[in-house]
Amino acid sequence: MDEGLRMLFHHGGQAAGNHEFPYTFPSKQTLISLTVCGFAAYLLVRHKGNLSLRITATLLVITLFLLVGISRVYFYVQFPSDVLAGYIFGRCLAQLKRDSARDSSYAEQK
């Protein structure tokens, strides 16, 4: 999905000359960290639903994907707009995965 978005936008980044794939918009690392960690936290919270676990999982995911994004900008690998777009598209993808998991669990209950 991220390579398709990169081909759609054709936005070169700061590290475009050093990488095989010259487009950095949206940030692949932030998109993947938000999608995978966010969905894993959702599954964990869904099956083990006490309040302290929900708070801990949410804070860990937020901390992780913020650190990934900040490091990409700090080391001049990507522009802040690339990282922000990675967050936005990652959130959308995580939401789609969550909704499909929710729909499949409702279908199994019927």
Q: What is the pLDDT, as a whole number, of residue 5? A: 53
DSSP 33: H
Q: Where are the beta strands (DSSP E) in the chain?
A: none
Provide the domain count of the chain.
1
The reply to whether 12 falls in a domain is no
The reply to whether 88 falls in a domain is yes
Tens-digit pLDDT profile for residues 95-107:
887 788 776 665 5
**Dmax over Cα atoms in the chain, in whole Å?**
54
**63 pLDDT higher than 90:** yes
The reply to whether 41 falls in a domain is yes
The reply to whether 10 falls in a domain is no
The reply to whether 71 falls in a domain is yes
The reply to whether 42 falls in a domain is yes
pTM, two decimal places: 0.66
Domain that holds residue 87: 27-109
The reply to whether 13 falls in a domain is no
Contact 97, 35 (CB under 8 A): yes
The reply to whether 86 falls in a domain is yes
